[in-house]
Structure 1
Amino acid sequence: MTAEERRLEEDRNRKAYWRRWGPYLSDRQWGTVREDYSTDGSAWDYFPHEHARSRAYRWGEDGIAGISDNHQRLCFALALWNGEDPILKERLFGLSGPEGNHGEDVKEYYFYLDNTPSHAYMKYLYKYPQKAFPYKQLVQENQRRGFYEQEFELVNTGIFDNNEYFDVFVEYAKNSDEDILIQISVINRASETKILHILPTLWFRNTWSWEENCKKPILTEDSPGVINASHPILGQRWLYCKNSQALLFTENETNHERLFGIKNHYPYVKDGINDYIIQGRTEAVNPNQRGTKATAHYELTVGAGETQVIQLRLADISNLAEPFGVDFDGIFQQRKQEADEFYQRISPGNFSEDARNVQRQAFAGLLWTKQFYHYVVEDWLNGDSNQPTPHRNYRRNQEWIHLFNDDIISMPDKWEFPWYAAWDLAFHVIPLAMIDPDFAKRQMDRLTREWYMHPNGQIPAYEWHFSDVNPPVHAWGTWRIYQIEKEFYGRADTNFLEKVFQKLLLNFTWWVNRKDNDGDNVFQGGFLGLDNIGIFDRSSELPTGGYLEQSDGTSWMGMYCLNMLVIALELAKTNPTYEDIASKFFEHFLYIADAMNNIGKTNIHLWDDDDKFFYDVLHSPHNERHRLKVRSMVGLVPLFAVEILEADVLDTFPGFKKRFEWFIQNRPNLQKNIASLEATGKGARHLLAIVNPDKLKVILQKMLDETEFLSSHGVRSVSRFHADNPYIFYVDGQQHRVDYEPAESTNGMFGGNSNWRGPVWFPMNYLIIESLQKFHHYLGDDFKVECPTGSGQFMTLTEVSTELSQRLISIFLRNRAEYRPVHGGHSLFQSNSHWHDLILFYEYFHGDNGAGLGACHQTGWTALVASLIHYCRAA
């Protein structure tokens, strides 16, 4: 057991609380639903970036490279000033949804370089320009550009030319669970000496302004260079600041005068330190050295190529005799070494250094994008006792009055999406389970707890619209956590499995009752996460009226049945009651699989026998049906509904076996168009799948065709066939169409920032890979397909899955030309030695060249590359 694993065990057994402190600050709190108290629900306009330095947040805090305790009472983060910017750099800047030509987008460069599950060692890099940050230029140029143009990025402004920037590394090393060493290393990459102001900042989240009789915490100067933080619940902490030039104090209170022209309640406000440093206003900070926000001021003169280091220590120990003694460097070195040992234990295979670097940064990103997420819908809707009652014409999420979120949650991207998304989270837990199964399990447990899940069984989708519908992948995520923990750590946590399974029964029932309009096992579901996949916004009322019978919605439910089936069989090993539940899901799956091929009411089925592909079917108000023949990921989702019953399963569970055999004998019609229940495959196994081997071959012909779905970097979300053959559908003379779009969206659907019309998306590719491996487990090595289609090269399905894995991994690795596809045409990333080994994990990837697109720190589901590297290289 490594030292890191011992820390995690101590935390699990509550002998030490190693996870109490971590990187739990958001990268952006402004512009979120939680902070929106507007009448019309326009969160971006109500709380813009321009207000963030001056207005106290209600529900959380943001900062650069920051940490907090697990209830975000006390926060620490970095602030900077280069002498040119009009404001302190206290938080990351980006465009709001309406400002960007492709939606919201962060316009900074920062990198999550290392982290361990206990957060005993963490490393972060921020690249800070030495010239004035081009706030206005970024906004104006992106507003000028349209949907058909690329986003205008910070690197495009030329601000990093001639290496005129600082590399600011922030590292944390825990001496104990309550003693945190902090090191900030500044490197001047320019050819001239530059001055940089470093302001490590400590503050309390404002909890006292909202409720009556809430005791206010306080920060004071304990002694020169030492800040004492006293909180009525958290207790006391001390921040030791080595060689600081001054300690500055203000309050984490809104500057009403600046924002609203109203007299301030306090003389010292949230932006007081900003005004002191930038404007020289000495009266903006408290001369009595007390407040709820404080900083240590360091003014560094850094020579060309020089590195200067600042050391701090946040601890629960007062009067440390030598906070920066000889042990300080030793603890850092020890924690770094322990991090190396931990990751060597996780991935001991024959990896290249480049692959290890990519995997390590993927894991680091997952751990850095944990966030304290606080949102109590009832309080948010009704307002707080100490504040005016909000007047809301649009009462967002009012049907989620029960929702009470106060947890550390894995975020898709702490700037772009600083709120959890239910189906994203099911993919996050796969690589998380490799390094921290306890945290991964907590994520699935939380989504299904009564203060998250709706009383009707629905799982909350995301804060902009909790009632939207995400694919039901949570049973899959739960089962995979269980399997991965057994594989890596030898623990079979059936208590976790059963606990979540019981709640998923409620969610499954919600799906059946709410999303099967005709009761014929063909499901709707709405956009199902694939925002821009079809010709209509599937979350809104269709322009034709009626509804969609969805190939993906129905297939997700088939997959859900099979996931629940295998979990039930696992639980039945110790509780025979679960045999009956397994039989229920087996039966339900058969009806769904049959419905996918034969709705029974018309000749318009989801399966098109001419094209040999699955499509959505439009069900009109006049009971007419029309296939929407878009060759998209919607038609590949049926592959995901596959499970293998091992030969000994039927003998192990006699009740399940009896039901299984009854269906074979009495419902032969259900086997007509689905994988045969009677025929056994390799090892006398049984195949449960929507797609039988014959359909599998013809679907894979399209999926593995490089003129259709297969790109050099994975499977595209829409076939390239539509580049020359757009799908067009007319409604009342108005044209609706789908073209192949390999990059950013060229329309405003879903804000114009999400494109499923051609790019490569990691989560769907990951499920394709897993499904192919399952099919191979049944069909064996004799079943081969041409890969790529037309190449004359035939592969087993496991070989195809490996090929797809390698194509996905290649997005991030240096090729023979030392070029990383993920960085696209950004020459700075491709050729500069201070940039080319830094990895960004984007939301999705260009369908033709693999360049990263969308949110650039989507270290949630794109961190699946860490899992692919492990299994692909280990094989």
Structure 2
Amino acid sequence: MMTAEHQRLAVNAKKPIPLAQWGPYLSERQWGTVREDYSTNGDAWHYFPFEHAHCRSFLWGEDGLAGISDYFGNICFAIALWNGKDEILKERLFGLGNPQGNHGEDVKELYYYLDNIPTHYYMEYLYKYPQQAFPYQELRDQNRAKSKDEPEFEILDTDVFKQNEYFDVKVTYAKQSAEDIFIKIDITNRFSKAADITLLPTVWFYNRWQRGNFKQKPVITALDKTSVKLTHERMEDYFFYFQPADKTLFTENETNTEIVMNKPNESIYTKDAFNTAIIKGENLNALTRKKSGTKFSPVYKMNVAGGATTTVYCRLSNKQTDKPFPQNFKDVFALRKGEADDFYAAILPKGINDDKANIQRQALAGTLWSKQYYHFDVEEWLTQSDGITPVSQSKLTGRNNDWKHLKNQDIILMPDKWEYPWYAAWDLAFQCIPMAVVDPTFAKHQLLLVMREWYMKPDGQLPSYEWNFSDVNPPVQAWAAMKIYNIEKKQKGKGDVDFLKKVFHKLLINFTWWINRKDVNGNNIFEGGFLGLDNIGVFNRSFHFPGEIQLEQADGTSWMGTYALDMMDIAIEIAIHDRSFEDTATKFFEHFVLIAESLNEHGLWNEEDRFFYDVLCVTGAEPVPLRIQSVVGISPLYAVSTISKDKLDKLPDFKKRITWFEDFRKKNNKFWPNEERSEDEEILLSLVPKDRLIDLLQRLLDENGFLSKGGIRALSKYHEQNPYSVMLENNTYSIRYDPGDSTSDMFGGNSNWRGPVWMPINFIIIRSIMKYGVFYGDSLQVEYPTGSGNKLNLQQVAKELSKRVVSIFERDGDNGRRLFGDYNWFYNQPGNEHLINYFEYFHGDTGRGLGASHQTGWTALVAELISEYDDRDGGVRLADEVVMSEASLGYIGDN
């Protein structure tokens, strides 16, 4: 079905940049980031704290509440609020920096991504604002006082929402055209009594002129009582229209040097001037008389009756008009909402219940809201001052100093726009899967973007994440590329082979980097280090111990086996269309065989425990298996693929070479990986022999081990009663089952892989088990759960695992959703039942959401699980369901 949104996507796909010019590209936190850190000690949280955010201009971007910007972040719009009691305007979301919380950084606000579509012609955002003074200090004090063994103190633990004494502030964007945006701000008093609130819809310029590279400073100029003109040398003229206001204010988006540097301001027109004018009345008349600046807002003082809603409309447009709000202008909101409904009706599965449909739609909407303008030039950041702190030698030789080539200025999917307002290589790969459901053009663009020359290091390493680009994430890009390719192919009937070729060429370089840098002994056993799993090891796996000590990683080796198999799959798919790729398919097949041999034969498999472990190798001593039952030992399941007879027949050279390779190795008594053939001559390839597969599944499906009510735990519950310890260099390192927030300070203590349920790992496990199940059918059945006596084939197991994961999000009668835990009293209230957050990870026993509360990035994979394994007709949907237009690739270059 070619809906209105699909038609717009078809147009977008043909642009050099496959993006809408305007979208939710404004960050939700710019302070406390590495980009804004010019300190000598690399302490980003203290160098640019929340307390400076309202009065200190940023260098590398902007942030705001429920905001939008153009795709270069030049013009920004967001709302500011005041309840008459706070000491600062509510201009941005508040949260704790890493040193302030008992479990690391965490946003302490209630906000929700209700709706969005790929071209952002329709968007909804809900923010809940207390009528009492916002409990900034209580949140700081309570979290500071709590130990690692206690849960975080959240805003719903305070009293500010207990009596419904708050406002629902809903911001809706509806585009008239690509550069003409209507804005609706609904303020609903959820309390029984009338309450005062001040609203400031604010438009401003990203302060790029402080770098001195503008010919002319941009300016916002008053036209009349209800409109201003925005003039910027890198944009066409824009106009901001608003309904009659109590007053209008102008200032400059420039640092209050008196507060930040103890240096007198050159003028009263600083970034925080609205704050002091509204709250303290300082310079209010001067700001009212001012008729130009780089930051502007109309001011609406309201008294909203209990239960009532007051609405304010604005418009941001490239069109100048005398009638910005014509008689029927409100119709655009209904029209765009209808188009959004049509779009999701076309791409989401039919027949699921309303609750699951809502889970899917909010997950996908949140993914779209997670697009962010990201600007970072590492060389400039290292070598130039921010005007506050001089360049120091420690900075020049400090964090990311070997990434001077990295020059990023793009719209990128963020894992979370508050807690993680920077991309991460493996997060992004997972995020591209749900993105491909709504916009495969952008999904392909994003996956390729991180491989471009201004991202990928010259030696082939992909940037990990902003705090340490040199950390190593699992190499999931090839897997994601095939998933995106198939999502598009199964709907259009034709895949984008050119996309696969581009991915393949780039990943050849990255694969070589892994082989050369992470296989120290050249034996196909890999030492990836961090691998994105934070504290899953008994010690920090990125740490290099002194002396001759090496950690051979079961998951690093498994990821590389998976990588080789995925590259083989890509090469085979391309070779069907371009025979010149046949040789590379053979090459990666051979890589896979050699890695499988190392994984199974060189000490990573523990025959006594029938499980894979990391192995600690100390010169002059016997290797020590680290007998930790974690997803590290489950990771060999990820590497599974099937090759159809049809494809083999089309690639005779590949078939001939792998047959010879098999004969050679078997004749010489060399290891051969799990390879089975079905009746129709389909070949199954996997890292794990069938007998070991059954043993791993027995542990995986044990409710006293890995299997929880909400999916697969990252660490087996076995370690609750059986902690594991190892002594190294006279230090004892220990690990035990830890189902909730991290009780370890490792990696800042803000995430935990020692027991909770993580969506990306569950998604890969479920997909892998399903692949095994499709091949084996009823010929392979296992107990589910282990010890129950209930036998299921692996397709059924995958489906049941998916149900468990989805159940975390579903409403369960009157009890609410398990992900909200003790806060269901709030989400069971009328009007809140439909609200969902997509947490970073989930408690291993209860399913309660933990970590970044709005991380719709990889957690949005739940939408795919619902599509693929729902019980609508008792079947399993392996097809990646999406209807989409033809796609072409593009990127944002320098501006």
User: Which TM-score tier does this pair reach, normalised by the shorter chain?
Assistant: over 0.9
Q: 2:850 aligns with which of 840, 848, 853?
A: 853
Aligned to 1:301: 303
Structure-1 separation of matches of 2:658 and 2:16: 48
What is aligned with 1:602?
none
What displacement does 1:389 show?
4.2
- Partner residue, 2:688: 691
The match for 1:561 is: 564
Give yes or no for contact 1:250–1:292 (8 Å, CA) kept in 2.
yes
Supply the distance in 2 between the matched residues of 1:829 and 1:669 (Cα, whole angstroms): 67
C-alpha distance in 2 between matches for 1:17 and 1:474: 21
Q: Distance in 1 between matches of 2:266 and 2:193?
A: 45
Q: Distance in 2 between matches of 1:817 and 1:440?
A: 38
Q: SS at 2:861's partner residue?
A: helix
Q: Which residue of 2 aligns with 1:311?
A: 313
Contact 2:415 2:421 in 1 (8 A): yes
Kept in 2: contact 1:675–1:690 (CA 8 A): yes
Instruction: State the secondary structure of the residue aligned to 1:825.
Output: helix
Match of 2:891 in 1: none
Identify which of 522, 529, 534 aligns with 2:532: 529
Distance 1:608 1:544, change over 3 A: farther
Amino acid in the other structure paired with 1:662: W
1:18 Cα shift? 6.1
Q: Contact conserved, 2:425 with 2:465, CA < 8 A, in 1?
A: yes
Deviation at 1:731, TM superposition (A): 2.5
Please say if residues 18 and 442 of structure 2, whose CA atoms lie closer than 8 Å, have aligned partners that are also in contact. Answer: no
Matches within 5 A, 1:183-194: 183-194=184-195
Report the counterpart of residue 82 of structure 1 in structure 2.
Answer: 83
How far apart are 1:387 and its partner, in Å?
Answer: 7.6
Instruction: Please report how far the alpha carbon of residue 11 of structure 1 lies from its aligned counterpart in structure 2 after TM superposition.
Output: 1.3
CA offsets 1:597-630 (integer angstroms, 9 cap, x no match): 112xxxxx10011111100000113363100000
* Structure 2 counterpart of 1:288, from 287, 290, 297: 290
Does the 8 Å CA contact 1:717/1:756 hold for their aligned counterparts? Answer: yes
- Rounded to whole Å, the distance in 2 between the matches of 1:669 and 1:824 is 59
1:773 aligned to 753, 770, 773, which one?
770
Q: Which moves more between the two structures, 827-836 or 90-99?
A: 827-836
Most deviating of 509-518 and 774-783: 774-783
1:178 corresponds in structure 2 to 179
Residue in structure 2 matching 1:713, options 710, 713, 717: 710
Q: Is the 8 A contact 1:7 1:18 kept in 2?
A: no
Match among 463, 467, 491 for residue 464 of structure 1: 467
Q: 2:782 aligns with which of 782, 785, 792?
A: 785
Structure 2 letter corresponding to 1:866: A
Contact 2:416 2:852 in 1 (8 A): yes
Query: C-alpha distance in 2, partners of 1:389/1:846?
Result: 45
Give the alignment's TM-score, normalised by structure 2: 0.95
Judged with a 3 Å threshold, the aligned counterparts in structure 2 of structure 1 residues 213 and 343 are, in CA distance, closer, same or farther, namely: closer
Gaps of 5+ in 2: 877-895
TM-score, normalising length: structure 1: 0.97
Among 602, 623, 626, the residue aligned to 1:625? 623
2:796 to 795, 799, 810: 799
Q: How many residues align?
A: 868
**For the residues of structure 2 that align with 1:388 and 1:746, how far apart are their CA atoms?**
35
Which of 744, 747, 757 pairs up with 1:747?
744
Shift of 1:343: 0.4
**Matched letter for residue 741 of structure 2:** E
1:838 is matched with 835
**Cα distance change of structure 1 residues 17 and 501 upon mapping to structure 2, 3 Å threshold:** closer
**Deviations 1:803-835, CA, capped at 9 Å, x for gaps:** 011100000001134421000111433421232
Residues 810-829 of structure 1: matches in 2 within 5 Å? 810-829=807-826
Which moved further from structure 2: 430-439 or 388-397?
388-397
**Deviation, structure 1 residue 284:** 5.9
Please show how residues 361-380 of structure 1 align to structure 2 within 5 Å.
361-380=362-381
The answer to whether the 8 Å contact 1:682/1:778 transfers is no
Deviations 1:755-791 (A, max 9, x none): 1000000000000011011112221222111100111
Determine which structure has greater relative contact order: mean sequence separation of CA pairs < 8 Å that are 6+ residues apart, divided by chain length: 2
Alpha-carbon deviation of 1:543?
Answer: 7.1
Structure 1: distance between partners of 2:468 and 2:337: 41
Q: Is the 8 A contact 1:273 1:284 kept in 2?
A: no
CA–CA separation in structure 1 for the residues paired with 2:387 and 2:726: 54
Deviation, 1:210, is 1.2
Gap runs ≥5 in structure 1: 600-604
1:157 aligned partner, one-letter code: T
Q: Conserved in 1, the CA contact under 8 Å of 2:662 and 2:672?
A: no
Q: Which residue of 1 aligns with 2:47?
A: 46
| Distance in structure 2 (CA, Å) of the matches to 1:862 and 1:671 | 45
Q: 1:613 aligns with which of 611, 614, 617?
A: 611
Counterpart residue type for residue 209 of structure 1: Q
Q: CA deviation at 1:488?
A: 3.3
Closer, same or farther: CA 671–492 of 1 in aligned 2, 3 Å:
farther
Residue deviations 1:443-491 (CA, integer Å, cap 9, x gap): 1111100000000000000010000000000011111111111123444
Q: Any idea what the Cα deviations from partners look like across 1:685-722, whole Å, max 9, x if unmatched?
A: 11111112111111100000000000011000010100
Instruction: Kindly provide the amino acid, as one letter, of the partner of residue 372 in structure 2.
Output: Q
Alignment CA distance shift 1:623-1:402 (3 Å): farther
The corresponding residue for 1:346 is 347
Alignment partner, residue 249 of structure 1: 250
Counterpart-to-counterpart distance in 2, 1:671 and 1:778: 27
Please identify, of 649-658 and 374-383, the stretch whose mean Cα deviation from structure 2 is larger: 649-658
- C-alpha deviations, 1:505-556, integer Å up to 9, x for none? 0000000000001100000110100101011101112378512100000000
Structure 1 residue 574: Cα displacement? 2.1
Q: Give the structure 1 partner of residue 125 of structure 2.
A: 124
Structure 1 residue 213 displacement after superposition = 4.9
Residue by residue, what CA displacement relative to the aligned partner does 1:179-224 show, whole Å, maximum 9, x if unpaired? 0010000100011100110100000000001125542100011111
1:227–1:240 Cα contact (<8 Å) kept: yes
Q: Deviations over 1:629-669 (max 9, x none)?
A: 00000001100011111122221101101111111210117
In structure 2, C-alpha distance between the alignment counterparts of 1:363 and 1:541, rounded to whole Å: 40
In the alignment, which residue of structure 1 is the partner of 2:555?
Answer: 552
Q: Distance in 2 between matches of 1:397 and 1:695?
A: 41
CA contact (8 A) 1:211 1:385 kept: no
2:112 and 2:836 in contact (8 A); partners too: yes
User: 2: distance between equivalents of 1:433 and 1:213?
Assistant: 37
1:439 corresponds to which letter in structure 2? F
Matching of residue 424 in structure 1 with residue 422 in structure 2: no
Partner of 1:512: 515
The CA deviation at 1:326 is 3.1
- Cα pair distance change 1:561/1:623, threshold 3 Å: farther
**Aligned runs of 1:82-231 on 2, under 5 Å?**
82-231=83-232
Matches within 5 A, 1:538-617: 538-542=541-545, 546-599=549-602, 605-617=603-615
The answer to whether the 8 Å contact 1:55/1:255 transfers is: yes
Against the structure 1 CA distance between its residues 330 and 743, is the aligned structure 2 distance closer, same or farther, given a 3 Å change threshold?
same
Match of 1:735 in 2: 732
Listed one character per residue, the Cα deviations across residues 37-88 of structure 1 (whole Å, up to 9, x for unaligned) are 0011100000000000000000010000000000000000010000000000
- Is 2:200–2:299's contact at 8 Å kept on the other side of the alignment? yes
CA shift, 1:870, in A, is 1.1
